[in-house]
Every structure is written in C-alpha cells, then in structure tokens.
Amino acid sequence: MSFSRSLLLPFAAASLAAAPAPQVAPADPAAAARVRGHIEFLADDLLEGRGTGTRGHEIAASYVASQFRALGLQPAGDNGSWYQWVPLRRARLVEGKSNIAMATGGAFAPVSEFELGLRPSLTEARREIEAGMVFVGHGISDDRLGINDYAGLDVRGKIVVLLGGAPSGLPTEIAAHLGADKLRAAAAHGAVGMLEIGGRRNSDRPAGSPPVSLYSKRPAIDWIDKAGRSGDNMGSVRVTLSASRAMAERLFEGAPKSLDAVRAEAAAKGGRPRGFALRPRLRIQSESAWEDFRSPEVVAKLPGSDPRLAAEHIVLMGHLDHLGPVANPKPGADAVNNGALDNAAGVATMLEAARAFVASGKPPRRSVMFIANTGEELGLLGADYFAAHPTVPAASIVGLVDLDMPLLLYPFTDVIAFGAEHSTVAKAVADAGRSMGVAVSPDPMPEESIFVRSDHYRFVTRGIPAILLMTGFANGGEAQWKHFLGKVYHTPGDDLGQKIDWNAAARYGELNYRISRTLADADQRPLWYRGDYFGDRFAPTAPRATP
C-alpha cells in the first residue's frame, strides 16, 4: 500500500469496548499452512525488504514464478516468459545546479530551498523556465461534475497554484480521484508548472519544515519506455513545485484575495474559491541526473474453458515489492523493512487463490491472469506500466481484483471493497462474502483516500472495473488498523514478529478466490453501473448495467 505518511499521523489511539467475538469458521488448515509458507519466505530478512530493482525483489519474483510453474499456470510475460521487465528511471536534482528566483513587480531575487521545492525531471536533463503564476482554486476541471476551476483563466505557459484536496460534499472515491487528477487537468489547460499548496489538512505546516526541502531531495522515479514515454507524462507541465506556508502567503501578495481568504472559502461546505492571476513570476533553472534500471512484473495465466469467453481476462494482482532496507538504521536496530503484511500477505493469498482455481478441477470460463507487481511503493509504477503495455490485448481485460495489505491479525468478519460500488463487481463481492459469513462495510476512513492509493486504481482510470478488498473494522479490526497504521505501517515492525492469524490469511485467500471465480464464470462480464462517475468518465462507450 502506498500512503502519504503525513496522512497517517492524525490517527488517534483506538479504544474499543470489548464485545463478544463472533464465531469465525476455521479454514482448511492446509491452506493456512501454505499461505504461512509463502509469507515466511517472502518476508524473510534474506530478501532484504524486496525493494524495486534489488536482488531481494528479484529472488522474490523468481519464487513467485516457480510457484506459478508448480501450479501448472502458463507464463504470460514478455516473449513467453514469466516476466514483464519494467524499464524505470530514477532522477535526482544535481546538487548546486538548481535555483529558483522570484520577482513580484521588481527584479528577480533568489528563493531558498526551504521556501520553494521542485521535483527532479524524468524527461528533461536541463530545464530553464520563466513563467507567471495563476491561482486556480482547487485546480479541478471535470465536465461531468460541472466543475471547472479553470473557467475564464488563461494558464497557457503559466505556473498554476492550487489548493490540495477537493470541495467538501463529494462522494469520497470521486474526491480522492479528483485530488489525484490535478496534474492532468493542469496539462489539459496548457500550464507549464503546478504548485500545490497544503489543503485544510496541511494548513498548519510551518514555514521551512522538512517537506518543502525534502520535496527537492527525494528522487523522482517512474517507468520510461523505448519510445521515451514516461508514466510521469505531464504533457505541457514541465515542473511541479511545493511551497512553505510563508512562501504560499507571499505568492498572494497584491492579489485580489489573500491565501487565508481563499482557504476560508474552501473550508466552507462545498466551498470552491475562484481563481485569479497572481503577481509573482518565477525563474527556474535545474539539472537532473538519471539512473536507468529495470524490475520485473511476474505474470501468469490460467486459460479459460469457454470458447465464447476465454479471450476475456479477469486479473488478480498483488504487489511483491516493498521498501528495501532502512535508509540510515540506528546501530543495533532492525534494519529491514520486511513488508510481511504489505504485501507478502497479498501475494501469498493471491498464490492460494490461484491454487484454488487449479484445485477445483474445473477451469474458469474466462481466462484468469495473476500478476505480482513491482514498483507499487514508488507510486503504482509496475501496475501502471502493465496497464499501458499489457501482455494481452488491453480490451480483453474485463475485471480486476487487487490484493494489497490485508491486515491478517484478527479473525475478520467484514471487508471494505474499494471500487466495487461502481459496477456489478459489487454483487460478486456481496455474494462471495455472504457465502463465507463476511459482511461488506462502507469505507470507515474515507480521509485516507485508499481508493487511489493502490494498483487497482491504474485500471479504473483505463475503464476497467477494478477493486481492492480491505479487511474491515469489525471484530477487533478497528483497533488493529489504528495500531498498524499509526505504529507499524512502513516500518521494520511489519515483519513476522507480528501475531499473524493464519486462519484469517487462508480465509482472505478463499474470499478473493470466490470473488474472482464468480467474475470469471459469469455469463456477463463486469459492467459499470449506468450513470456511474468512473464508468462514464473512463469507459463512456462500454455497455452498462442497472444498479
């Protein structure tokens, strides 16, 4: 799972009254042992945290390919192999070769890295940009919702300045998507740069705090294909920036409204501040150094049996990569981010779901693909590359189930199905859950925007009904989630020292199997619901179902 760490801190310690634990049916003990075997291998210190592009991750990939082979699946990567190699680029700003100057009416004066930060470029080794700035509200442009924060503003060749987040009152998954879609909107209007200033959530970040300078120091990483196309394709946008609070306020000097005033407008229910031109101009010079490398997706296929449906594919995926070693470990401290739950658990349960397909003795009607992704922790990169360069015809992928960071620490009795409510996949999830005594609950933490933070989202934006199942808050889940996200997530503590509930692990694998089996065997492929935002936006010509 790929969260912004700053989003997690507001979690308060959970306090739950003890309730009588519901009875949870035991899974097949052999299934629990198999899942345990996979997780114990993948989360071993020997794999050094499975960082994208590392030997540890490639050993893990080799293990998954061997398991696919042993199950009798077919390789479905590049050229009949198990692997699709993702070409990746890491870009860093060259020390001492980047500077930003600002002029508000008078002469240009240098701006420090604590005031304005900029991201390295993956496509331009040298950048020289001089541009004016325009405030564009939340920076949202969406015909379907009737929101166009760019209306009446000319931002061509300008740097757009926008507030993070989305107007209040929108459905949470749409709000999360709009928050993740701002670069595209800026490019669609011809902007040359984008500067997002903290939304309400971040409005108290003090000037000069680490995020602005770290914004420049962290490398940028994305895939870059033979044609030089990057997943980080920003169209006309050549630079993205971050400002300290004091600098953000300075950008509004002499403007029709202050930053505080537009923030107050945005804080009102449904508030959507209108944009206007800002007075400052920026002059940006930067040099980026590149390091190119590659990392594999592991891809397998179980051919379908129905001549009419076998050309269609249902995809199960889980990311195999994690964070690698701790950057600067304290002497004697645990130095490996093992990623036992994030996401050895998802891959292990995907392998168990694959085994269940084979062990049923009855091939699915549609073909089923199994993918162990890379680069998820770096920004959903492997899934995005596969979605842009699928090894089967893109139109043949008709549904997707993502297994990412199931919290297998308690006997879960409910799940949250991110993305399911938009399509007929909702019914498959509800039916499979009912058959196992597992309820489907609404998202209990919409502020986390989980819908856009895992690999399945890269398929939603390509028009494919795709879901992610999270183990729910019932039966002790809430306290486990709050503890995990607050204390364990993306630390060396996500290791085999946790009390993993192997029965819950087997049940999670079984549940995902039942959902994907239903999708693979149904007469009708998964269909977006009529009038659904994501279906209308990303699959406008696809057939529809009535909810």
DSSP secondary structure letters along 64-116 = HHHHHHHHTPEE-SGGGSSEEEEEEEEEEEPTT--EEEEESSS--EEE-TTTE
The binder of Zn ion chosen from 1, 64, 351, 426 (CB under 5 A): 1
CB 159, min distance to Zn ion, A:
31
Q: Which is nearer to Zn ion, 1 or 469 (CB)?
A: 1
- Helix, strand or coil, per DSSP, at residue 306: coil
Nearer to Zn ion by Cβ, of 1 and 429: the residue is 1
Taking the least distance from each CB to Zn ion, the nearer of 373 and 475 is 373
Stretch that binds Zn ion, among 71-79, 109-117, 170-178, 370-378 (CB under 5 A): 370-378
Nearby residues of 66 by Cβ (< 8 Å), 6 or more positions away = none
DSSP 207-275: TT-HHHHHHHHSPEEEEB-TTS-BTT--TT--EEEEE-HHHHHHHTTTSSS-HHHHHHHHHSTT--PPP
Is residue 342 at the binding interface for Zn ion, with CB under 5 A as the rule? yes
Beta carbon nearer to Zn ion, 159 or 378: 378
Q: Give the x/- contact pattern for Zn ion in 448-487, rule: CB under 5 A.
A: ----------------------------------------
Q: To the nearest whole angstrom, how small is the minimum distance from the Cβ of residue 336 to Zn ion?
A: 15
Cβ of residue 406: shortest distance to Zn ion, in angstroms?
A: 12
Task: Pick the piece of the chain touching Zn ion (CB under 5 A) from 239-247, 373-381, 449-457, 513-521.
Answer: 373-381
Nearer to Zn ion, 377 or 510 (CB): 377
Number of residues that bind Zn ion (CB under 5 A): 3
Cα–Cα distances (Å) from 102 to 31, 53, 112, 282, in that order, read 62, 39, 10, 5
User: Tokens 């709009």 label which residue?
Assistant: 178
343 preceded by a cis bond (ω within 30 of 0): yes
The CA angle 388-389-393, to the nearest 5 degrees, is: 105
Question: Which is closer to Zn ion, CB of 2 or CB of 475?
Answer: 2
Find the shortest distance in angstroms from Cβ 491 to Zn ion: 11
- DSSP annotation string for 509-546: HHHHHHHHHHHHH-SS---EETT-HHHHHH-TTS-EE-
Residue 319 CB, shortest distance to Zn ion, in Å, is 8
Q: Identify whether the C-beta of residue 508 lies closer than 8 Å to the C-beta of residue 348.
A: no
312 near Zn ion, rule: CB under 5 A: no
What SS3 class is residue 151?
Answer: coil
The amino acid sitting at 214 is: L
Strand partners, 439: 414
**In angstroms, what is the minimal distance from the CB of 2 to Zn ion?**
5
Instruction: State whether residue 437 is helix, strand or coil.
Output: coil
Tell me the window of 11-19, 358-366, 377-385, 454-462 that interacts with Zn ion (CB under 5 A): 377-385
Widest Cα–Cα separation across the chain: 77
Least distance in Å: CB of 3 to Zn ion?
7
Stretch that binds Zn ion, among 58-66, 148-156, 376-384, 452-460 (CB under 5 A): 376-384
Q: Is 384 in the site for Zn ion (CB under 5 A)?
A: no
- Give the list of residues 6+ apart from residue 120 with CB closer than 8 angstroms, or none: 91, 92, 93, 216, 219, 220, 286, 288
Judged by CB under 5 A, which stretch of 132-140, 155-163, 339-347, 530-538 contacts Zn ion? 339-347
* C-beta closer to Zn ion: residue 191 or 345: 345
The distance of closest approach from Cβ of residue 339 to Zn ion in the complex, given in angstroms and rounded to an integer, is 7
User: Shortest approach of Zn ion to residue 113 CB, angstroms?
Assistant: 28
Give CA angle at 78 (51, 520), nearest 5°.
90
Encoded tokens for 52: 């994208």
Span near Zn ion by CB under 5 A; candidates 203-211, 253-261, 304-312, 334-342: 334-342
- Minimal distance in Å, beta carbon 1 to Zn ion? 4
Contacting positions for Zn ion (CB under 5 A): 1, 342, 377
